[in-house]
Amino acid sequence: MSICRSLTLLLIALFSLLSLPATAQEDDPGKALLINLAEAPASKVEEAVNAIVSSGDERARGWLEAYGNNRLSRVKDTGQVVLVLNNRGRDWEIADPLTGENMGEMSRRELDRVAINNRIRGQLEGILAMLDLNAKDPDVREASAQDMMGKVDASLVEPLEAQLAKEEDAAVRNRIEEALAIYRVGEGNLEAVDVLAGSLHPRARAALNEAVRGDNEALAQRAAKALESIEQKLQLNRAAETLYFGLSLGSVLVLAAIGLAITFGVMGVINMAHGELIMLGAYTTWGMQQLFPGQPGLALILSIPAGFMVAATAGIIIERSVIQYLKGRPLETLLATFGISLILQQLVRTVISPQNRTVVTPDWMSGSLVINDALSLTLNRLYVLAFALIVFAGLMLIMRKTRLGLEVRAVTQNRAMARSMGIRATRVDIMTFALGSGVAGLAGVALSQLTNVGPNLGQNYIIDSFMVVVFGGVGNLWGTLIAGLSLGTINQLLEPWAGAVLAKIIVLVFIILFIQKRPKGLFPQKGRAAEG
Amino acid sequence: MWLTRPLQERSTQIFLGVLFAAVVLVTFLHLFMPQDSALHVSAFTVTLLGKYLCYALLAVAVDLVWGYLGILSLGHGAFFALGGYAMGMYLMRQIGDRGVYGDPILPDFMVFLNWQELPWFWHGFDMAWFAFIMVLLAPGLLALVFGFLAFRSRVTGVYLSIITQALTFALMLAFFRNEMGFGGNNGLTDFKDILGFNLRTDATRLGLFIATGIALAIGYVICRGIVTSKLGRVSVACRDAEARTRFLGYRVERVQLFVFVVSAMLAGVAGALYVPQVGIINPSEFSPLFSIEIVVWVALGGRATLYGAVIGAILVNYAKTVFTGIMPDAWLFALGGLFVLVTVFLPKGIAGLLQKRRKASQDDDTPTAQEATV
């Protein structure tokens, strides 16, 4: 008997030990707060919510979010408050709100939803934003302050002001001030209008518009003035955005055309397969990403030399096998290289797939650079723009400062004279063509980040590239850069009122007419080289 | 008379004789051979051959400017398609209220797009004579304006090629737009009859085939007449030494303009005959690829021979029909290979091979492709 009793005692002791965490939970202030909320009558709910907010508990955000989404429930038997993770079907998956521990599934009949009314739900968003305003990360604070714009009501003014007083980050302060100003404009405060006059946020404009329509005349006048200044700023930003997109499109054109400017412009070889060399570069990027799965960034960086090499090799093969036999017969070269472009396209269709391949954009290239509320620049386009400029600068250096560049210029200006000076013209031909082709490969690597990678990729760019080179003036790299960027910008400027297709047609017609006027392009070559 | 002179030439006589014999033979085999005979030519084949003849006429037009004027046009598909669209618009208007929506005036696609009335440029196309004039006028006018601007500013060689390519590309983009009023993507199709004849009957198809044969014969004689005339000699001079011809006092740009416009009109006629036989015209005829393909027909057949263009067009298109039937994937390889092989190994084309054979009895003053190289 006694043994039996002592065993029982031991068991009880063990159990109490095991339930130690439970006792810890007992002491958790969060539990009381939640139960308080769950049990509060309609009139006291607000108080209970505020209590949770002011507790400073880190888990408060999750609780309130769940509360707003009807995901806070009470177990009927035990009275414990739980989070509902999944409320589909009959058995709901629940978790402990205090520890976050998954508690498995429970029949929904045994659960009792913690009631919420619409008034509280409306406020909850602001309250949650207030919670975020205390976050450590200034970006989170700024985002939450931005969320708050237009949602501030009388109850939030005071806490916001308190927040403003202790906030140190300038951007966050600005946002809070704007949020407060929107509320104050609604209340008829004149000074608040001036605060909003500097804001580009759509909510600020909405608030000012409302003030203009309101009965308060002094306020309406001031708001109208503020709106005018905002409108001016917006227009400036829109112009900047169009310019950015134009430059971005232009940088793509420059990239596609700059290799052609070498092979066509400098060497005088019409390479209709240029577009397919771009395509090869893009497929190299895809191939590298298959080689390094899960590391798109590394693959992309490695693709830059790889794409160059692949396209340059293809270029050398084309030059050796076909183009060298057609020297001095540009129209035949045009036809033969067009044939090569058909073969390359079909090769990709047969060997890889006629479908487009997806090339992953690495994290550091996706997203956008936010300048202000009205203007944000997509990062991948920014990178491509920078890349185009770097490639251009590199080519410029090669042509101007290296032995190869000197020899290329000598051979194009006077082949016979250059050869008698000991320059191996055939070697220069190969090197130049490889360089131009390799740059096409680089263009492909960049384009893989902006458009679909498919067998038709090159075809879409070949006519544009030739237009850019001819427009800029054959044999002039600067001309190509300026022509590409300006054609891209013109295209973007026309698009809003003409539509994308019509804009393109207008640009083409413009170039056709321009060539009639100035057959040698924007920057014609002067002197003897021009006659060659 | 410049038009009758070619008829006395041996080469033209042979060409016309062969063409006449072929058309008569096909007609005979189609009409008088029993259906189950191995020699019977089906209506489908007749239409296919008619299509080849349209292409042949188009190739002759391209050869006229490339072979004898030295202008490599990569935009002749545009003139072909414009002629085709003019014919297509006439055929559309002939449908009348037999369309899907039954509108007596508006073609189906306009009803579909909720258009209330006919656009201005569609007026007059219900009359055959007007449409047939437009078949010549639309491509001719485009060639006139484009050529006037280009030749006046002495745009030649590769530049002109690239610009003509841009021209047809721009037109393709434009015709793809629904707002243009030419049926957008789908183009014009679902034709019923031409000049009162039902397009689906075999007799009409045979008639169109014969008409195409006649058009090709006339087109060939016109081109031959031009190249053997004094104008033709000046045009060859422009091709080989433009600056020198200019210094000798010839108005090079006028010669170029005249030949270019004639060529564009011929291409337009080819397109107009093509559309009723194929039964559809859509913007893909404007695609740069098609235009450049035409050039390869000419290159394969032999540049600056005219009959070579006909041979090239028929051969390549026959090969295309066979290839796309048996192994469609291989066609682009074959076509691409053809581009390379012809330009590298066969600069004079098939006609060059033929000429080599019968070098002795050469009363033809046609310059060979090698001299023609620009």
pLDDT digits (tens, 9 = 90+) for A192-248: 777 777 777 887 888 788 777 877 777 888 888 888 888 888 888 888 988 999 999
pLDDT band at A8 (very low <50, low <70, confident <90, very high): low
Q: What's the CATH number for A237-531?
A: 1.10.3470
- Tokens 């590769």 found at: B158
Report pLDDT for A257.
92
Report pLDDT for B316.
93
pTM score > 0.80 for this model?
A: no
Note the helical H segments in B99-241.
108-112, 128-152, 157-176, 202-228, 230-240
Highest-scoring range by mean pLDDT, A179-188, B10-19, B262-271, B280-289: B262-271
Report pLDDT for A233.
86
Please report how many Cα atoms fall inside a 13 Å half-sphere around the Cα of residue B352, on the Cβ side: 20
Asked if A291 reaches chain B (Cβ–Cβ under 8 Å), the answer is no
Mean predicted confidence (pLDDT) in A32-50: 79
Q: What's the CATH number for A22-119?
A: 2.30.30
Average pLDDT value for chain B:
89
Residue A469 has pLDDT above 70, yes or no: yes
Between CA B305 and CA B369 the distance in angstroms is 8
A373 closest CA partner among A205, A192, A164: A205
| Cβ distance of B159 and A470 shorter than 8 Å | yes
Which residues touch A100 (CB under 8 Å, ≥6 apart)?
Answer: A59
Mean predicted confidence (pLDDT) in A271-296: 92
Nearest Cα residue in chain B from A505:
B170
* Residue B133 structural domain: 5-372
| Cβ distance of B336 and A332 shorter than 8 Å | no
Nearest Cα residue in chain B from A323:
B344
Highest-scoring range by mean pLDDT, A517-531, B173-187, B220-234, B354-368: B220-234
Which residues touch B127 (CB under 8 Å, ≥6 apart)?
Answer: none
Mean predicted confidence (pLDDT) in B271-300: 93
Task: Identify the residue with better confidence: A101 or B123.
Answer: B123
pLDDT band at A391 (very low <50, low <70, confident <90, very high): very high
Residue A94, SS3 per DSSP: strand
Which region among A167-171, A275-279, A377-381, A426-430 has the lowest average model confidence (pLDDT)?
Answer: A167-171
Task: Identify the residue with better confidence: A160 or B95.
Answer: B95
Average pLDDT value for chain A:
82
Cβ-Cβ contacts under 8 Å, A517 against chain B = 153
Report pLDDT for A26.
55
Cβ-Cβ contacts under 8 Å, B297 against chain A = none
Residue A24 has pLDDT above 80, yes or no: no
| Cβ distance of B340 and A322 shorter than 8 Å | yes
pLDDT band at B371 (very low <50, low <70, confident <90, very high): very low
Report pLDDT for B307.
93
Task: Identify the residue with better confidence: A327 or B368.
Answer: A327
User: Cα B289 to the chain's mean position, in Å?
Assistant: 15
Tell me whether residue A237 is exposed, middle or buried, using C-beta atoms within 10 angstroms of its C-beta: 0 to 12, 13 to 18, 19 or more. Answer: middle
Report pLDDT for A19.
47
Mean predicted confidence (pLDDT) in B176-203: 88
- Encode pLDDT of A482-518 as tens digits: 999 999 999 988 988 888 888 888 888 888 888 877 8
The torsion angle over the Cα atoms of residues B337, B340, B345 and B347, rounded to 10 degrees, is 120
Cβ-Cβ contacts under 8 Å, B338 against chain A = 339
pLDDT band at B33 (very low <50, low <70, confident <90, very high): confident
Residue A135 has pLDDT above 80, yes or no: no
Tell me the backbone φ, ψ of residue B102, rounded to 5 degrees: 70, 20
| Cβ distance of B176 and A513 shorter than 8 Å | no
Q: Which residues pair with residue A376 across a beta bridge?
A: A370
Between CA A28 and CA A103 the distance in angstroms is 18
Query: Where do the domains of chain A lie?
Result: 22-119, 133-214, 237-531
Report pLDDT for B15.
92
| Cβ distance of A342 and B335 shorter than 8 Å | yes
Asked if B143 reaches chain A (Cβ–Cβ under 8 Å), the answer is no
Residue A87 has pLDDT above 80, yes or no: no
Residue B98 has pLDDT above 80, yes or no: yes
Which residues touch A493 (CB under 8 Å, ≥6 apart)?
Answer: A242, A246
Report pLDDT for A22.
46
pLDDT band at A276 (very low <50, low <70, confident <90, very high): very high
Which region among A154-158, B28-32, B179-183, B306-310 has the lowest average model confidence (pLDDT)?
Answer: A154-158
Tell me whether residue B138 is exposed, middle or buried, using C-beta atoms within 10 angstroms of its C-beta: 0 to 12, 13 to 18, 19 or more. Answer: buried
According to DSSP, residue A77 is labeled T
Highest-scoring range by mean pLDDT, A24-33, A103-112, B249-258: B249-258
pLDDT band at B369 (very low <50, low <70, confident <90, very high): very low
Q: Do A483 and A249 contact (CB within 8 A), yes or no?
A: no
Q: Which residues pair with residue A94 across a beta bridge?
A: A84
pLDDT band at A93 (very low <50, low <70, confident <90, very high): confident
Task: Identify the residue with better confidence: A291 or A113.
Answer: A291
- Encode pLDDT of B154-172 as tens digits: 887 888 888 899 899 999 9
Which region among A34-38, B29-33, B63-67 has the lowest average model confidence (pLDDT)?
Answer: A34-38
| Cβ distance of A330 and B374 shorter than 8 Å | yes
Tokens of A87: 């409320």
Asked if A468 reaches chain B (Cβ–Cβ under 8 Å), the answer is no
Q: How many domains, in total, are found in chain B? A: 1
Report pLDDT for A302.
93
B69 closest CA partner among B197, B223, B294, B281: B223
Q: Helices B76-95 & B43-69, crossing angle to 10 degrees? A: 140
| Cβ distance of A330 and B177 shorter than 8 Å | no
Cβ-Cβ contacts under 8 Å, A334 against chain B = 72, 158, 161
